Structure 1
Amino acid sequence: MCSHCHYLAPTWKEIAKLLNGIMKIAAVNCEYNRQLCHREGVRAYPTLICYGKRSQHGEHYTEEKSQEAIMRFALDRLNIHISEINKMQWELFLNHEIITQRPVLIFICDDQQNCFTSDERLIVAATFDKLIDVRLYICEDHYDMYREKVRAIYLPMYSTSYKPVFFNSTSDINTLIEKLWEQLPNPQELTDNDFDIIKRTEFNAAWLICFYIGDSENLKDLNLQMKKFSISGINLGIIHCGKNGQFCNKLGINRYPVWGMLKPGGAFELNHGKATNNDIIKFVQISIKTTNLWALSAEEALSILQNKENEVWFLDWYSPRCPPCIRFLSELRRASLKFDASIVRFGTIDCTVHTMICHHHNIQQYPTAMLLNGSKTYQFTLQKTAANIIQFINEKRNPSVIELTSENFNRKLAKKKSKIMWIVDYFASWCAPCQRLASEWIAVAKSLSSLSFVNVASVDCEAEASLCASQGIRSYPTIRMYPLGSEGLNTIALYNGQRDSLSILTWITKFLPKKIHDLNPSDFQRMLEFSKYIWIVDFYLPQCWHCQKMEPEFAIAAQLLEKVKFGRINCNFYMNECAHIKVFPTLILYKPKQKKKNRHDMDNISIVATTAEEIRDEILKIINFRIKHDEL
């Protein structure tokens, strides 16, 4: 509805064409994305914002909204510099007496700047950044042979076939760019044998490989397209699947053209995303980092599934035609970056290619993920995010939730002592609310892990149907507490609240031994004047979310420190005692000084902590410092 936006639109499209392959140009419709626009500080339309290395939080454009001015603003932020060479350097370049790591393009101008514009030169330099070094030579000699005829010269890297290329009739910058792409070396044609040799011997090599079928005309087009994927440190290869059909079938290639990454270390992965240039470049940039993610062949998958290798694997069974599978692949890549291959390897199995393997292992939906550790298989049933994958693997490696089965239930829980508390989640792996609860339950277990008398456990009622039936479990998830003071299964408390970690923790801490004193003004004054103990007081507001989050952590910390008194003051009721409090919650530690006239003055120190362990550690640090100070 904005007339100024309509006026800018054709200019913006032209800028997008000029900066194609150099800078991503985007548009946000603020009528449909109001929250995003508000968050980014958009107050008027159109608003132009540049995001990049120099402006991570967005740099607003405030100049004239013309094509020239916007282009100048954009090019200035590319951080591209074209150095000027003198006549001596010019002659050295021509005589190939300067050895360079990359080809060189030299723009030639006369003293009247009769050549490509500075913006056009910057566009070329940015397009071929780290592929071609760009220089500028200004001819001062009016009769120089290059003044009228040559506008640029391309010098390939020195070799026996070294031959400069002169551009003397090229006036259009896009034509020059296309001709420069043609000058760069074509991708290397590979065979199945070449692929295996690279995989076995070139452990630090990274290859982007295009698999194709077709004639020489197709090859010519693909060569040109692949050159545009040139990234420093990436080798380019091409494999004809008509000539290497058996090998392509082994890799699971069933469409053409398709791009794959052979990564440092030998892992291989196919691109299942969009086939646009930008998407393939993005795939390359991500895939080269994820050296611990392998697209498995039939032989590799069978070897892992039959437990022939003594390795831990996280396997993703998927179909490239399934959109949730493609989204999960990107999450899987991110998760794989957090683990060394010596701890756990990540593998993908394409069920459109390895149909028999998927059928044999009863894979009925996509994506299906599981962790294989020797003879044990753990199904991944959490939401398909990188954070949940990481949490799931860490939990299986170092469990914080005890898994109860028919074998250990009686030994561990049925014979429970009165000084021990158990909290148990009875769940079924197919149950969606159970899946949502799983990560919250792990968070509960981790928060309570410092309390030796509290055990957090779970029972898979799909695997342990008879056990759950004997306990009268009729719905999932069911959360039961077997509290302190009771033995065995005699006493049960049922949880019926919201299934998030904070709500569950707050409920559990109500059953812990009471160690926190609710202070009123007179209690607080007596503490300040006469207490011989160290006190830590939580100043809070009941309606404050951060205060609610602190409540269970504060209760757990109170269980960890026997010689420290814990108190809370409700600042809704006792505003005078909270007058000095600026933010909620605030934790303040009070420790008594030496007696003066039969009363104690209390030192007070603010505690900055958010978890029970942090509160404990901060208090111990202060107490230990005081003891050392007194001894000194």
Structure 2
Amino acid sequence: HLGNLRRRDYYCNLKLFLFAFIAVWLFVTISSDEDYYKLLGISREASTREIRQAFKKLALTMHPDKNPNDATAHEKFLKINRAYEVLKDEDLRKKYDKYGEKGLQDEQQGGRYESWNYYRYDFGIYDDDPEITTLDRGDFDAAVNSGDVWFVNFYFPRCSHCHDLAPTWREFAKEMDGVIRISAVNCGDNGMLCRSKGINSYPSLYVFRAGMKPEKYYGDRTKSSLTTFAMQFVKSKVTELWQGNIFNEIDRAFAERISWLITFCADTGDCLEPQTRRKLAGMLDGLVNVGWMDCSKQADLCDSFEITTSTTALFPPGSSLAQKGSAMFIQSLDTKEIYAQVLQPLPDLEILTKSSFEHKLAHHRWLISFSFGHNDLASHEYKKLKALLKGSHIQVGKVDCVADSELCASLYIQKPCVAVFKGVGIHDFEIHYGKDALYNVVAFAKESVNAHVTTLRPENFPNQEKEPWLVDFFAPWCPPCRALLPELRKASIQLFGQLKFGTLDCTVHERLCNMYNIHAYPTTVIFNKSSIHEYEGHHSADGILEFIEDLVNPVVVTMTPESFQELVKRRKSSETWMVDFYAPWCGPCQALLPEWRRMARMLSGIVNVGTVDCQKHHSFCQGENVRAYPEIRLFPQNSNRRDQYQSYNGWHRDAFSLKTWALSSLPRASVDLSPEDFKRKVLGGKDHWVLDFYAPWCGPCQQFAPEFEVLARMMKGTVRAGKVDCQAHHQTCQSAGIKAYPSVRFYPHLGTTRRDQGGEHINSRDAPVIADILRQRLQQLALQGKSSKLKVS
């Protein structure tokens, strides 16, 4: 008997070993055979724009329409299409980078594709235009909040009017290059971003500037009309200089170390056009004043400047007519050429050395450009930083890491970069890992000084700290890592005083990352004394806040075999439990966890939610007949057998789909109302009612249905919940004034007064929000009731 048991155990263990071996072999085979980056011929640090460009190049040669005699063309194209669809999406790319294709089992991107003509003529309209910045969800906010003026073209690839505008938009971008920022957003790839900005027609043209409400352009789509509209947002002034103001204006500017660019307009030669002057004033705002002089009216003044024909000259601080060569005369009439010539002689960033570094940074906020022997980052454009950051009280300087190698080494700075020092000494700083474009650097500096994120090093890495820390282990070449950084800054502001935030570059501090077993980027970890929690949520500030809330007030019960028996197997008849049986090494399990927590919050107080770690409790999961991960089971209420359950077989494992499935197993909390019920119970009854007016064919109604059930349970005992089918009972809905589905109306009981058929409209489809509105309304009614009783007495 014992021998049979041992033999059975042996075969069972052998089966498990073979199963594990095959699973690992399949994972390695799939991951190594289908490297998405290699399929598209790009590096792992490729930007979204580079991914689009690489895919388009392949699509034009590999498309089945171009390869009718290749029987494998369809299969080959599906592979590159799948690679593109995954890598262009920030969340999917993170999953793929961390778990390979195993982490994408629930995703079906790339199963269909467009015709060759689409990729040739409609795809990535502006990707090859350097003057047009293609903005995506990840960099849109940083761009439009940088302080620059942004003129944004929201377009859709299949929109004919968008294609008609494209040549004009390109010419307009060249015309305005350097004056304002011209950009484009593909709403086909960034639907959520476009919806959040209220875009519902294409093309939609909007001007954005920090602190200003976005302004829509309604004019003709010609270059001249677009230019006229855009120039009204260039607020810098051009000063007409004459005998009465020139010396005061020049002396005032020179005292502030600001140069003057003056164009002299005489009877002969060419002076700068009024629009060119305005453009230059905008481009040089804060650095150089722009003025002009009419020599036909100011002949003596022009003579004193030795001007005999129209010309333009730059007068740096301290220059004078007596000093030969102190003014720089400019021959060009082209805006961009003049701009480049004017920037060149302007003073460079202040140089900081080891001897001055600590003193300068002790009490002031600084943006520092670290270079290695030549102008790596501090190009002539960077001379504008001082003016652009003056309003934020951020000083600007640079450090040469060849001359001051010891200083840079002490900060672990090994390559050119920009860093913001927060004004509390040299140890609290944050390095910029985004694009080197001026607008990115400005946006970063403004965000960073107000946020509470620190670049970590071995010296300041949290080790048994009393205060909890969030540490983001990342690599600068990883795009999802770079996309997460601004979200960390947002979260650090909201959680200031509760949680400290730090980032650790694993390409620099490899040994420290290895100590914590970091093998994928980004890996975000919460250190709370001896407890360590890895963040697996969405790359957003809201996701981080939700995760922290779950740590403080957990909504998911972590179960042991003993607690499972107690809570699930011996549950009360009124209780429902949902349990996720998972393994930590399983990619889809990890992807499910943030959705599982989100679902638990949605169902809080309605359904109990738990998890079982089957790696830790392997024998227990075997005994429960768990054969694959994740295994989602629902243990219903009022069940005769406590071990009875339903398994989730749905394809989608998002919070909404799981919530809908869970609620479908519960008895309805709302009731269906007929026209007679509506008149008798709602309009004539003595209960408060909240109603959902819907139509069976309406998609948003179907999405709202489980949310309304949550509301019904939240308000049980105080407000009754009912549903009216407007397809079956059209007249009832018409008499209630229902013009859109779903419509939520509140019908309070007002004593003897008969209720209005239309009720009180509630403009929300979120159960907790509606519940709060109803509770506030009930409080108002209670106070009104008390008030009327006092008046009667």
Q: 1:536·1:565 contact (CA, 8 Å) conserved in 2?
A: yes
Q: 1:428: how far off? A: 2.9
AA of the residue aligned to 2:412 = G
Q: Which of 45, 49, 59 is equivalent to 2:217?
A: 59
Distance 1:616 1:33 in 2: 32
2:342 match: secondary structure: helix
The sequence identity of aligned pairs, in percent, is 29
Tell me, which stretches of 5 or more residues in structure 2 are unaligned? 1-120, 123-159
Q: 418-427 or 54-63: which moved more?
A: 54-63
Q: 2:684·2:755 contact (CA, 8 Å) conserved in 1?
A: no
Matches within 5 A, 1:83-122: 83-94=239-250, 96=251, 101=256, 103-105=258-260, 107=262, 109=264, 115-122=271-278
Q: CA separation of 1:572/1:292 partners in 2, compared to 1, >3 Å: closer, same or farther? A: same
Q: 2:367·2:418 contact (CA, 8 Å) conserved in 1?
A: no
Do structure 1's residue 22 and structure 2's residue 186 form an aligned pair?
Answer: no
Q: 2:259·2:316 contact (CA, 8 Å) conserved in 1?
A: yes
Do structure 1's residue 272 and structure 2's residue 433 form an aligned pair?
Answer: yes
Match of 1:316 in 2: 472
Q: 1:153·1:164 contact (CA, 8 Å) conserved in 2?
A: no
Distance 2:191 2:768 in 1: 41
Q: 2:420·2:431 contact (CA, 8 Å) conserved in 1?
A: yes
Q: Which of 683, 697, 711 is equivalent to 1:543?
A: 697
Q: 96-105 or 608-617: which moved more?
A: 96-105
Do structure 1's residue 249 and structure 2's residue 404 form an aligned pair?
Answer: no
Do structure 1's residue 481 and structure 2's residue 634 form an aligned pair?
Answer: yes
Q: CA separation of 1:269/1:417 partners in 2, compared to 1, >3 Å: closer, same or farther? A: same
Q: CA separation of 1:166/1:459 partners in 2, compared to 1, >3 Å: closer, same or farther? A: same
Matches within 5 A, 1:514-529: 514-527=668-681
1:269 match: secondary structure: strand
Q: 1:622: how far off? A: 4.1
Q: How many residues were matched structurally?
A: 603
After superposition, the C-alpha distances for 1:338-375 in whole angstroms (9 at most, x for unaligned) are 432x2222222222211211222222222222121221
Q: 10-19 or 240-249: which moved more?
A: 10-19
Q: CA separation of 1:471/1:368 partners in 2, compared to 1, >3 Å: closer, same or farther? A: same
Match of 1:379 in 2: 534
Distance 1:127 1:402 in 2: 58
Distance 1:528 1:29 in 2: 48
Distance 2:253 2:609 in 1: 70
Distance 1:376 1:4 in 2: 57
Q: 1:209·1:262 contact (CA, 8 Å) conserved in 2?
A: no
Q: 1:16: how far off? A: 4.7
Do structure 1's residue 260 and structure 2's residue 419 form an aligned pair?
Answer: yes
Do structure 1's residue 237 and structure 2's residue 394 form an aligned pair?
Answer: no
Q: 1:376: how far off? A: 1.0
Q: CA separation of 1:72/1:100 partners in 2, compared to 1, >3 Å: closer, same or farther? A: farther
Distance 1:462 1:87 in 2: 86
Kindly report the root-mean-square deviation, in angstroms, between the aligned alpha carbons of the 2 structures.
Answer: 4.3
Match of 2:455 in 1: 295
Matches within 5 A, 1:3-22: 16=173, 19-22=176-179
Q: 1:205: how far off? A: 1.0
Match of 1:446 in 2: 601
1:370 match: secondary structure: strand
Q: 1:15: how far off? A: 5.8
Q: 1:183: how far off? A: 4.3
Q: 2:314·2:342 contact (CA, 8 Å) conserved in 1?
A: no
After superposition, the C-alpha distances for 1:415-441 in whole angstroms (9 at most, x for unaligned) are 533344333223334433333433332
Q: 1:315·1:346 contact (CA, 8 Å) conserved in 2?
A: yes
Q: 1:52·1:58 contact (CA, 8 Å) conserved in 2?
A: no
AA of the residue aligned to 2:599 = V
Matches within 5 A, 1:401-416: 401-405=556-560, 408-409=563-564, 412-413=567-568, 415-416=570-571
Matches within 5 A, 1:184-583: 184-199=346-361, 201-202=362-363, 204-213=364-373, 218=374, 222=378, 224=380, 226-230=382-386, 231-233=388-390, 234-255=394-415, 257-265=416-424, 267-275=428-436, 280-281=441-442, 283-284=444-445, 286-289=447-450, 291-301=451-461, 304=462, 306-307=463-464, 309-340=465-496, 342-405=497-560, 408-409=563-564, 412-413=567-568, 415-449=570-604, 451=605, 454-485=607-638, 489-497=642-650, 498-512=652-666, 514-527=668-681, 531-559=685-713, 560-580=715-735, 581-583=738-740
Distance 1:55 1:523 in 2: 48
Distance 1:619 1:311 in 2: 39
Q: CA separation of 1:31/1:99 partners in 2, compared to 1, >3 Å: closer, same or farther? A: closer
After superposition, the C-alpha distances for 1:430-454 in whole angstroms (9 at most, x for unaligned) are 43333343333233222233x3x64
Q: CA separation of 1:407/1:220 partners in 2, compared to 1, >3 Å: closer, same or farther? A: closer
Q: 1:292: how far off? A: 1.8
AA of the residue aligned to 1:258 = C
Do structure 1's residue 610 and structure 2's residue 769 form an aligned pair?
Answer: no
After superposition, the C-alpha distances for 1:48-69 in whole angstroms (9 at most, x for unaligned) are 9463347836425526546xx6
Q: 1:14: how far off? A: 6.9
Q: 2:261·2:288 contact (CA, 8 Å) conserved in 1?
A: no
Q: 1:378: how far off? A: 0.9
Distance 1:5 1:547 in 2: 33
Q: 1:519·1:568 contact (CA, 8 Å) conserved in 2?
A: yes
Q: 1:296: how far off? A: 1.3
Distance 2:675 2:165 in 1: 65
Q: 1:31: how far off? A: 12
> TM-score by structure 1 length?
0.80
Q: 2:708·2:767 contact (CA, 8 Å) conserved in 1?
A: yes
Distance 2:448 2:770 in 1: 41
Q: 2:692·2:742 contact (CA, 8 Å) conserved in 1?
A: yes
Matches within 5 A, 1:161-200: 165-168=326-329, 170-172=331-333, 174=336, 176-199=338-361
2:419 match: secondary structure: strand
**More relative contact order, 1 or 2 (CA 8 Å, 6+ apart):** 2
Q: 1:99: how far off? A: 8.1
Do structure 1's residue 82 and structure 2's residue 238 form an aligned pair?
Answer: yes
Tell me, which stretches of 5 or more residues in structure 1 are unaligned? none
Distance 1:226 1:614 in 2: 47
Distance 2:188 2:781 in 1: 60
Q: 1:41: how far off? A: 4.2
Distance 2:572 2:187 in 1: 62
1:87 match: secondary structure: coil
Distance 1:454 1:20 in 2: 57
Distance 1:590 1:7 in 2: 52
1:442 match: secondary structure: helix
Q: CA separation of 1:267/1:583 partners in 2, compared to 1, >3 Å: closer, same or farther? A: same
Distance 2:352 2:639 in 1: 72
Distance 2:562 2:778 in 1: 46
Q: CA separation of 1:384/1:611 partners in 2, compared to 1, >3 Å: closer, same or farther? A: closer
2:179 match: secondary structure: coil
Match of 1:124 in 2: 280
Distance 1:31 1:441 in 2: 29
AA of the residue aligned to 2:514 = H
Q: 2:162·2:202 contact (CA, 8 Å) conserved in 1?
A: no
Distance 2:743 2:520 in 1: 49
Q: Which of 744, 749, 754 is equivalent to 1:587?
A: 744
After superposition, the C-alpha distances for 1:585-616 in whole angstroms (9 at most, x for unaligned) are 22334456777xxxx95444234142333444
